[in-house]
Each structure stands twice: as C-alpha cells, then as structure tokens.
Amino acid sequence: MLQTKNISASYRETVVLEEVSFQVEEGEFLGIIGPNGAGKTTLLKIMTGVKSPLTGEVMLDGKDMRSLSRKQIAQIMAVVPQSSFIPPLFTVEDVVMMGRYPHQRSRFTITKEDNEVVKDVIQKIGITLFGSRFINELSGGERQEVIIARALAQKPKVLMLDEPTASLDIKHQMKILGLVKMLVKEDGITAIMVIHDLNLAARFCQRLILLHNCKIHSHGKPEDVLTSQNLKEVYEVDAEVNYNTSIDSLQIVVKE
C-alpha cells in the first residue's frame, strides 16, 4: 500500500534521513519509534507528500507520489498531525465535514453522502454527544477524537498519525489506539503511526521501525525490535523487557 525506496532528506546542509526503505502492506498497523530528533516527523512529512525527499521515492497504492495531486493523495490518505490548529467557532460537525473535501466536486456543495459519512463517523468514534459543540470548547482528548473523525470522513485507505496520544490521559490513549486498531482489523485500513510510548507501540502495532542516527536501526515484530540491547544502543538506557500475559504484550521497564 505504501513503499519508501532509499529515502534521504535534509534541512539545508543537515542530513536527517539516509537510505530509508520499507513497505507497508494493506491492513497493517506500523509504528515508527525512535528518540527525539531521529527524523520520525520528517519521514512522515515525506510519506504524506508535504516534504520532498532529497533522493528516493514514495509509492502510494502503486503510484509514484510525485505524480499525484494534493487532492488525489487526500483521496487515498488521511493525516492526523502532531499538532493541528483549528480556528475556533467551528462545530464538531463542521470540522468532521472538512474531511469530505477531497471527495467533493465543488467546495460549496454538500451531498447526501457527505452528510451520511459524517454522521456515521461521529457515531463510530462515539462523539455524537458533542456534535454541535464548538471545537474550542472541547478538552484535548475530545479534540483529538474529532481530528481522527475528520480523517476518517476522508474514507482513507491509509491513515497516518504523528504522536496521536501525546497529550492524552491513559483512558483516552487506550481509546484512540483501540480505535485505530479496530479500523485496521475491521475496515482493512493501513495505519502508520509515530509514537514515543514504547509500551503502547508494542501493544497496538503489528510491526515497528526503530529510527536512529538518520537510519532504520531495526525493523520487525515488536519482540524483535524492542530488545534490551536495541534500547541500550538507541536510547542509552538499561531496560528490562518482559512479556505480560494479562495484556498479552511486551512490557518495558527502564531501570536506569
């Protein structure tokens, strides 16, 4: 569904990504992890067509990203950015409707289908109760749910998320990631997420890419990537990695 081939990127003279190649299959949930400044957001910007790579290419649904217009990309891919500014005085329904834009022929006509999709998505995410409230009157967790609803209203094949749970409490972290997991499982969406919390990454993602020093340090199943040795090499911490049967996932404890 999405493939990067030998991606390199820089800001002025500073190289921040070198020869990054991987592919993500349809219906997969991939996590991108790595220390601050490792290049995660830059990689996401390249995969969403916001930034051009220095070398290499991105294939989206079999097509070279450079051959697609912004609108064509948005018909395939939706993005939940690290921080998103939404002007106040838009209602939740207005914001979710913005997600329909790539499918609208004209900016000013809202079809029956648009209304139905917006209603369905709002229901699916469980935000029906605050549909008519203003976006600036919601908490951070509620607002994040609305941003995800807007992304889903795009009916994307690929969902890109940059630290979607960064400022959320543990309840909302579980809710948002559970939701993405469900979309992957039930609707066959392909999800690519940048995330800092290694325990959540292990628990929700099927595959992980660990970025370090501009390159892919390791890539594979959570148990192959999140080893004590890799964590030592990349994060310079002593960590214990155990399997927790009650959550059926790895659990990482940093010792020092």
> Residue 195 contacts by C-beta under 8 Å, 6 or more apart in sequence?
31, 32, 33, 163, 164, 165, 201, 205
User: Residue 83 binds which one of Mg ion, ligand ADP, none, with CB within 5 to 8 A depending on kind?
Assistant: none
Q: How many angstroms separate the CA atoms of 67 and 48, rounded?
A: 13
221 contacts 48 by C-beta, under 8 angstroms: no
Residue 128 beta carbon to ligand ADP: minimum distance, rounded to whole angstroms: 34
Residue 242 beta carbon to ligand ADP: minimum distance, rounded to whole angstroms: 26
Residue 40 beta carbon to Mg ion: minimum distance, rounded to whole angstroms: 5
User: Residue 245 binds which one of Mg ion, ligand ADP, none, with CB within 5 to 8 A depending on kind?
Assistant: none
Q: How many angstroms separate the CA atoms of 76 and 159, rounded?
A: 9
3-state secondary structure of 57: strand
Residue 10 beta carbon to ligand ADP: minimum distance, rounded to whole angstroms: 9
> For 65-130, where are the E strands, in sequence order?
77-80
Q: Is residue 48 involved in binding Mg ion (CB under 5 A)?
A: no
Residue 79 beta carbon to ligand ADP: minimum distance, rounded to whole angstroms: 14
Number of Cβ atoms within 10 Å of the Cβ of 50: 14
Q: Is residue 39 involved in binding ligand ADP (CB under 6 A)?
A: yes
Could you say which of 3, 8, 16, 142 contacts ligand ADP (CB under 6 A)?
16
Q: How many angstroms separate the CA atoms of 247 and 251, rounded?
A: 9
Q: Is residue 41 involved in binding Mg ion (CB under 5 A)?
A: yes
Could you say which of 1, 29, 31, 42 contacts ligand ADP (CB under 6 A)?
42
* Of residues 37 and 126, the one with the C-beta less far from Mg ion: 37
> Residue 110 contacts by C-beta under 8 Å, 6 or more apart in sequence?
97, 100, 104
Evaluated on CA atoms 87, 89, 92, 97, the torsion sign reads negative
Q: List the beta bridge partners of residue 192.
A: 30, 160
User: Residue 53 binds which one of Mg ion, ligand ADP, none, with CB within 5 to 8 A depending on kind?
Assistant: none
Angle at 251 between CA 184 and CA 37, to 5 degrees: 75
Residue type, 145: E
Residue 235 beta carbon to ligand ADP: minimum distance, rounded to whole angstroms: 13
Q: Is residue 144 involved in binding ligand ADP (CB under 6 A)?
A: no
* Of residues 101 and 235, the one with the C-beta less far from ligand ADP: 235
User: Residue 34 binds which one of Mg ion, ligand ADP, none, with CB within 5 to 8 A depending on kind?
Assistant: ligand ADP
Residue type, 212: H
Could you say which of 36, 67, 83, 245 contacts ligand ADP (CB under 6 A)?
36
Q: Is residue 172 involved in binding ligand ADP (CB under 6 A)?
A: no
User: For binding to ligand ADP (CB under 6 A), which residues are involved?
Assistant: 11, 16, 34, 36-42
User: For binding to Mg ion (CB under 5 A), which residues are involved?
Assistant: 40-41
